[in-house]
């Protein structure tokens, strides 16, 4: 197909750029950590909460939120759960492979400015830690700008825990309060047992004035929101990461639509009070 000069000069939102797979590590039976580096001549700038479309030629694309903080320069990190065609193919990539990515996408990011000076609480269910981690580490790298920082994490079973050393480091720092629970424990586990909502009453920071960020499996949202409602947290202070099927990442294909919102452009992080007009959201 011959392409005219005008078209050749257009910016193509569907065209992936290449980055290099620098590191990979299986973190648990289903979650793969990967680190991607890019050429400094073409920097990759993003805000915590934004996602990329990861391409595997011949298989397709999958939206994955950046898990590292933009304060980490020269590379970015993803954590990919193996669940279908593309994600399994991502697990099979080798160190040194060129990987296509599009993005970063999403104007609904973590409110890095609005959160300054505020107490901040992250409520994470399982893999929901992955996107939240970007903002947690961003705060830790700009620690003086933010108030008390609390992260609570619920994981289904011991085998699915990940980021062991990083979480261990968090639990030993005194500028972040980290609490963890597992749904089902064995005898070796000395920590909390139960679903993530059981940790909410243990949060020491004043919840009502804090900004609260929730990310986890769909079922978790209802229970957490109920608990936050009881704690009288205003809906303006609650933010949710929403997930929907995606294809374009650019507000065109219609797949990610929730009533009048598009997760790919209006999200993926939404302020709960904005969702009151979107009954399909939760």
Partner 1 sequence: MSIKKLKKDIFVHFIDNLIRTVKVIGVQAKGERFDYGLLASAKDLRLDYDVTLQPPKKYFLPPVETLVTYEVGDGYSSQYDCEQFVLIGVHPYDMVAINQLDELFRQDNVDSHYFARRDNATIVACDVVNPSKNVFASSMGTATVKNGYDVLLTDIGDSYLAEAATEKGENLLAKAAGAEEANKEDLNKRQQVWDKNEAGLNKHQLQCKVTDLPRLLGRAYNHPVWEEKAKTCFNCGSCNMVCPTCYCFDIQDDVGWDFITGKRQRAWDGCLLDGFTKVAGGHEFRKKRADRFRHRLYRKGKYVPEKIGGQIACVGCGRCIDACLPDIANPVNVYNRLVADLGVK
Structure-token match 């929907």, residue found: 244
Length of the chain: 282
Of residues 22, 148, 251, 274, which one binds ligand FES by CB under 6 A? Answer: 251
Cβ distance to ligand FES smaller for residue 108 or 125: 108
How is residue 68 written in tokens?
Answer: 């590292």
Q: How far apart are CA 163 and CA 177, in angstroms?
A: 16
The answer to the question of residue 61 lying near ligand FAD (CB under 6 A) is yes
- Tell me which residue of 74, 43, 44, 55 sits closest to 14, measured CA to CA: 55
The single-letter DSSP state of residue 16 is P
Render the burial of 204-218: b for 16+ CB within 10 Å, e for the rest: ebebeebbbbbbbee
The answer to the question of residue 63 lying near ligand FAD (CB under 6 A) is yes
Report whether 160 contacts 82 (CB < 8 A): no
What SS3 state is found at 218?
Answer: helix
Of residues 243, 255, 274, 278, which one binds ligand FES by CB under 6 A? Answer: 255
CB of 35 to ligand FES, least distance (A): 25
Q: How far apart are CA 236 and CA 203, in angstroms?
A: 19
Sign of CA pseudo-dihedral 53, 128, 109, 39: negative
The answer to the question of residue 80 lying near ligand FAD (CB under 6 A) is yes
- Tell me which residue of 72, 81, 85 sits closest to 35, measured CA to CA: 72
Sign of CA pseudo-dihedral 94, 99, 103, 105: negative
The answer to the question of residue 81 lying near ligand FAD (CB under 6 A) is yes
Site for ligand FAD in 174-203 (CB under 6 A): none
What torsion do the CA atoms of 84, 135, 239, 199 make, to the nearest 10 degrees? 90
Cβ distance to partner 1 smaller for residue 57 or 193: 57
Cβ distance to ligand FES smaller for residue 240 or 246: 246
Q: Which does 64 bind (CB under 5 to 8 A by kind): ligand FAD, ligand FES, partner 1, none?
A: ligand FAD
Sign of CA pseudo-dihedral 135, 141, 142, 147: positive
Of residues 90, 248, 269, 275, which one binds ligand FES by CB under 6 A? Answer: 248
Of residues 252, 259, 273, 280, which one binds ligand FES by CB under 6 A? Answer: 252
Residues that bind partner 1 (CB under 8 A): 1-4, 6-8, 10-16, 18, 55, 57-61, 83-84, 87, 97-98, 100, 218, 243-245, 247-248, 250-255, 257-260, 265, 279-280
Cβ distance to partner 1 smaller for residue 180 or 266: 266
Per-position x/- string for 149-188, each x denoting binding to ligand FES as judged by CB under 6 A, each - no binding: ----------------------------------------
Could you list the residues that contact ligand FAD (CB under 6 A)?
51, 60-65, 79-81, 83-87, 130-131, 243-247, 268
Could you list the residues that contact ligand FES (CB under 6 A)?
246-249, 251-256, 262, 264
């Amino acid at each position: 197909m011959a392409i005219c000069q005008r078209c050749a000069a257009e910016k193509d939102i569907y065209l992936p750029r290449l980055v290099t797979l620098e590191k990979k590590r299986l973190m648990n039976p289903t979650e793969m950590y990967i680190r991607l580096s890019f050429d400094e001549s073409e920097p990759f700038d993003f805000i915590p909460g934004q996602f990329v479309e990861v391409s595997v030629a011949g298989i397709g694309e999958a939206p994955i939120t950046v898990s590292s903080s933009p304060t980490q320069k020269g590379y970015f990190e993803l954590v990919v759960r193996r669940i279908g065609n593309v994600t399994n193919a991502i697990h099979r990539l080798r160190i040194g492979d060129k990987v296509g990515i599009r993005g970063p996408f999403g104007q609904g990011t973590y409110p890095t400015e609005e959160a300054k000076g505020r107490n901040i609480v992250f409520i994470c269910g399982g893999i929901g830690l992955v996107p939240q981690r970007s903002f947690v580490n961003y705060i830790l790298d700009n620690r003086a700008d933010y108030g008390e920082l609390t992260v609570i994490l619920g994981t289904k079973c011991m085998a699915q825990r990940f980021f062991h050393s990083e979480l261990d480091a968090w639990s030993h720092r005194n500028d972040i309060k980290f609490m963890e629970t597992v749904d089902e424990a064995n005898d070796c586990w000395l920590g909390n047992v139960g679903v993530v909502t059981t940790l909410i009453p243990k949060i020491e920071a004043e919840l009502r004035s804090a900004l609260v960020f929730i990310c986890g499996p769909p079922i978790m949202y209802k229970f957490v929101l109920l608990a936050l409602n009881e704690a009288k947290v205003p809906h303006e202070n609650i933010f949710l990461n929403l997930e929907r099927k995606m294809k374009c990442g650019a507000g065109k294909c219609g797949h990610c639509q929730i009533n009048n919102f598009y997760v790919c452009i209006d999200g993926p992080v939404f302020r709960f009070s904005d969702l009151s007009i979107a009954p399909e959201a939760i």
